[in-house]
Amino acid sequence: MFNSLLLAACAVASFAEAQSTFRAIPTLSASVDAAPSLVPAILDPTAPNAQDVCPGYKASGVVQTSQGFTADLTLAGAPCNAYGNDIVDLTLAVEYQAKQRLSVKIFPKHLVASNYTNGSTTAATSDLKFNWTNTPSFQFQVSRVASGEVIFSTYGKVIVFEDQFLEMATSMVPNYNIYGLAENIHQFRLGNNLTRTFWAADSGNPIDGNLYGTHPMYLETRYNNGSASSSHGVYARNAHGQEWLLRSDNVTYRTIGGSYDLYFLSGPTPKEVIRQYQGGVVGLPQMQMYWTFGFHQCRWGYENWTVLQEIVDGYANAGIQLETIWTDIDYMDQYRDFTNGAMNFPVPAGQAFLAELYAAGQHYVPIVDSNIYAPNPTNGSDSYEPFQRGAALSAFIRNPDDGDFYYGDNWPGYSVWTDFLVPQGQQFWTEELVKWYGDIPYDGIWIDLSEASSFCVGSCGTGHLQENPVHPPFRLPGDFNNVDFNYPEAFNITNATEAASAVAASSSQVAANSATALPAATTTSSSATFMRTKPTPGVRNLDFPPYVINNLFEGHSLLKNTIAPNATHNDALNTTEYEMHNLFGHQIANATYHALLSVFPGRRPFVISRSNFAGSGNITGHWGGDNTSKWGSMYFSIAQALQFMMAGIPMFGVDTCGFAGNTDAELCNRWMQLSAFFPFYRNHNVFASIPQEAYRWSSVAAATRTVMNIRYSLLPYMYTLFYEAHTSAETVMRALAWEFPNDAQLLNVDNQFMLGPSLLITPVLEPLVTSVKGVFPGVADGVVWYDWYTLQPLQVAAGENKTLDAPLGHINVHVKGGSILPLQAPGNTTATSRNNPWSLLVALDNKGQAAGSLYLDDGVSLVQNATKNVQLSYANNKLTASVTGSYHSAPALANVTIAGVSALPAAMTLTVAGQPCETGVIQLVQGGGVLYVTGLETFTTAGAWEGDIEMQFS
């Protein structure tokens, strides 16, 4: 154990010294972030209840179509104008788009709805039925044709449609089970006392607050008294700020604009709902490059290229795999995109470092922030060419007050944001990334602050650019007296002396800072709390809409920490951020994806971005944002990951060991092992905290070596899972309730998960324990679970919450009986692993059978010249590998391990590519219920999968 308190102080002091020559001065006053304080409608006792005061609509003029019908909706009474101006005339469009998907759209009459039908589904062939009534006003229900089960019902409620407010409510069954509505930090099952707010926010990881992503889709599962469960999905395609009110007997959907564009998915299993959502509505996840499944290391606080080399060497010396090194904003010249600091990250030294890194088969990914620095027009030495080039293209979002660019604030100072609604925005972004790649040949791009984050209210740089560069209106990590002294729960028990020192140092820092505190932000009123604005006919108040959503920032204003809603794009419609806010993260990820197609023609782009929207999985992965080094944060990472498996962004992971605060050996030990089973596996933290690379503690290094070897051996399995996600919307990480949908005992389980259909992960999620409890579904139906390490079947009763040994450094992994896992011996990188011998792990079910699959390609290309699919099966004592496709994998098949074999076979025959083999050199060893078959490489020297394989035991 090193002295982490001392390390933290020294590291921060060192970094602050290195950065001091370009610290932005002066510091902005906190007043730039002042905004009126608002009361969210859900907390405002004087806010009108739209269900009580609004008249709803009457339907008429029904016109049948081949796949549904349309109707006119007319306001059924005097306008209520509850939180906007009522729209009198609407159109209803009901479409049976596919057998499992029903679309219901309600929109202003002058607009035209898109059509997404498959051309063949009708009301008579659909799984779902749409019923409606005009008594007392237009209401509708969606039900299942086969059973009559109602899955969505507005009966007894009115539909509200105003220019800045929509409301629709559906009745719910008692104790309903809803999942999804990502992104949130919450238990996986959302419960019935929660408000989900969607307004993309640079907010860290607050529990139940609005975060980075907007995915207005939920999955509901109903358990039917021991019979088969039924699941369905609801997706509300709307990007405006919105809220979902989950209450005891209803769910209310509210937005501050747009229209109703609802998709009902019939399931009836959870995985089928997810397939219908991704495959039929928002699109399938992108296929990732093979190397991206290796381990990634990053830190905000790597001071220069030399330090990066030390990190790379540290992992190599510790015998721990490291695939990719990342840099946070440290590498930039004064935090400006597409630049490298001449002092600490000069281009020539970077090129030399990267040449050596790439020669070792490793990779490099830098951060790119979402803002573009606006240079000081009165200081020629402050020139910044990316801004000049973007300005010449008119590629930036505008301030409607003066028609000039919108100037907010971020790390480098006053900044602008690219307008991705117009072609010149994509042109600018592509040209900058291509040009920068000529200096620093990166492998992928990490997009941050894409909510989009701004540290002031409004266009605060307008008229003030001559002050640039300016420091943000708060202390940065690494600034003087800004060391983080927070540690995980139980640190005071495991490290009592150090914990006491941290408390004392923290108190001293607080006292010192109180004497030099930055001025507090002030509002436009010294005492008043502003209520909602009043709707005005013909006018939309964009910055202060009449309905106040529960935005988590102080005062709840939509102006806080982001581009103002009235900021205007350059398209023909002068679209505003009011409409586009929740889409900015999707847009910049999309622009980055297409820019990387220009940087790497024909190669799959690798993008990890923070803010996201429904469908972002087509183009980007996502990490969980600014979490903390706390046990609770590690626990919530599982539910967060499962949300994104539903949302169609399977390339997901969190900042392992925590981003903010200081980790310790125990937490990092457990977390490094847990994250090894997440698709995106990265360790990352802030430089105001101690370093937390896996080799810093001997116990963490040992635990990481163990689990990393498991992960790297499983790379073919994980890659195959991604292929199945990319082609057929299978999930990668899976909730137990998805794999065993009829077991109501699993509806709340989010402390365990499955990786694909075959592996059950049971991590330790609390300190000071050496055992963990877990459930093992399906045992009552004969499912067998094998311990990964011993291959012994687990002795567990049906429904038992089994206690498992879990000493520090051990994570429980179990293989489901009936699985065949293709494995490769782990190397120090993904490339070396791909060149290592193949093996198969066969875990027999209670009938002596198993199955699995393997997908192979070059791991890089967007369009493949050759692929290979291997279907693996075991039945009647015969193992078969059926091979299709022409992709060549050179390594041989070395061995097969079969768990669940009670005796040594008397004989074995082997056929490879139709040719019988002399099996005298093959060794068969049986013990403890496991059969080990070795010596197979002799017969597969041309490559393991160059033809069908049959292995018969008798």
Round to whole Å and give the CA distance between 699 and 598.
Answer: 44
Asked whether 4 and 494 are in contact (CB, 8 A), the reply is no
Q: Which residues neighbour 120 within 8 Å (Cβ) at sequence distance 6 or greater? A: none
Round to whole Å and give the CA distance between 165 and 547.
Answer: 7
Phi, then psi, of 511 in degrees rounded to 5: -65, -45
Residues 10 and 135 occupy one common structural domain: no
520 pLDDT higher than 60: no
Residues 318 and 267 occupy one common structural domain: no
Closest CA to 153 of 123, 131, 125, 126: 131
Residue ending a domain, among 252, 282, 312, is 282
pLDDT above 70 coverage of the chain, percent: 95
Task: Write the DSSP assignment of 175-192 as a string of letters.
Answer: T-EEEE-SS-BS-SB--S
Q: What is the CATH number of the domain that holds 323?
A: 3.20.20.80
Q: Is residue 807 part of a domain?
A: no
Closest CA to 757 of 715, 804, 720: 720
Residue ending a domain, among 282, 301, 328, is 282
Q: Is residue 864 part of a domain?
A: yes
Compute the residue count for the chain: 954
Pinpoint the alpha helices (H) of 20-116.
50-53
Residues 606 and 464 occupy one common structural domain: yes
Summarised one tens digit per residue, pLDDT across range 362-378 is 999 999 999 999 999 99
Q: Is position 626 annotated as part of the catalytic site?
A: yes
Residue ending a domain, among 235, 252, 282, is 282
Amino acid at 663: T
Q: How far is CA 862 from CA 67, 475, 593, 871, in A?
A: 36, 43, 12, 23
Beta bridge partners of 677: none
Residues 262 and 342 occupy one common structural domain: no
Q: Which residue out of 86, 409, 431, 451 is catalytically annotated?
A: 451
Residues 17 and 87 occupy one common structural domain: no
Asked whether 229 and 742 are in contact (CB, 8 A), the reply is yes
Summarised one tens digit per residue, pLDDT across range 650-693 is 999 999 999 999 999 999 999 999 999 999 999 999 989 999 99
Residues 443 and 323 occupy one common structural domain: yes
Round to whole Å and give the CA distance between 551 and 557.
Answer: 7
Round to whole Å and give the CA distance between 163 and 919.
Answer: 77
The encoded tokens of residue 567 equal 């900021």
Segment 808-818 shows an average pLDDT of 98
Q: Which residue out of 163, 448, 484, 946 is catalytically annotated?
A: 448
Q: How far is CA 522 from CA 32, 517, 771, in A?
A: 9, 14, 51
In this prediction the pTM is: 0.96
C-alpha 63 chain-centroid distance: 42
Q: Is residue 50 part of a domain?
A: no
pLDDT, residue 23, reads 54
| 506 DSSP 8-state letter | H
Q: How far is CA 46 from CA 42, 43, 245, 532, 542, in A?
A: 10, 9, 18, 10, 22
pLDDT, residue 517, reads 63
Residues 266 and 382 occupy one common structural domain: no
pLDDT, residue 599, reads 98
15 pLDDT higher than 50: no
9 pLDDT higher than 90: no
Q: What is the CATH number of the domain that holds 866?
A: 2.60.40.1180
Q: Are strands 655-656 and 128-133 parallel, antiparallel or unpaired?
A: unpaired
Round to whole Å and give the CA distance between 245 and 250.
Answer: 8
Q: How far is CA 186 from CA 208, 230, 319, in A?
A: 6, 24, 36
- The upper half-sphere exposure of residue 226, i.e. CA atoms within 13 Å in the direction of its Cβ, equals 0
Q: What is the CATH number of the domain that holds 268?
A: 2.60.40.1760
Structural domains of the chain, count? 3
The encoded tokens of residue 604 equal 């799959």
Q: Is position 577 annotated as part of the catalytic site?
A: no
Residues 255 and 352 occupy one common structural domain: no
Round to whole Å and give the CA distance between 627 and 307.
Answer: 24
Give me Rg for the CA atoms of the chain. Answer: 29
Closest CA to 764 of 724, 801, 807: 807
Q: Is residue 402 part of a domain?
A: yes
Q: Is residue 61 part of a domain?
A: yes
Q: Is position 401 annotated as part of the catalytic site?
A: no
Asked whether 829 and 361 are in contact (CB, 8 A), the reply is yes
Segment 443-465 shows an average pLDDT of 98
pLDDT, residue 479, reads 78
Beta bridge partners of 262: 104, 236
Q: Give the residue numbers spanning the domain of 254.
A: 55-282
pLDDT, residue 338, reads 98
The encoded tokens of residue 487 equal 């540690």
DSSP H or E run through 803: strand 801-805
Residues 113 and 227 occupy one common structural domain: yes
Residues 294 and 184 occupy one common structural domain: no
The encoded tokens of residue 285 equal 């996840």
pLDDT, residue 474, reads 87
pLDDT, residue 475, reads 83
Summarised one tens digit per residue, pLDDT across range 56-107 is 999 999 999 989 999 999 999 999 999 999 999 999 999 999 999 999 999 9
Segment 124-139 shows an average pLDDT of 97
Q: Is residue 508 part of a domain?
A: no
Q: Which residue out of 328, 626, 655, 730 is catalytically annotated?
A: 626
Summarised one tens digit per residue, pLDDT across range 259-294 is 999 999 999 999 999 999 999 999 999 999 999 999
Can you point out the beta strands (E) in 183-226?
194-198, 213-214, 217-224
Q: Is residue 129 part of a domain?
A: yes
Residues 246 and 360 occupy one common structural domain: no
Q: Which residues neighbour 126 within 8 Å (Cβ) at sequence distance 6 or greater? A: 96, 99, 102, 145
Residues 206 and 338 occupy one common structural domain: no
Q: pLDDT higher for 97 or 513? A: 97
Q: Is residue 183 part of a domain?
A: yes
Phi, then psi, of 552 in degrees rounded to 5: -75, -15
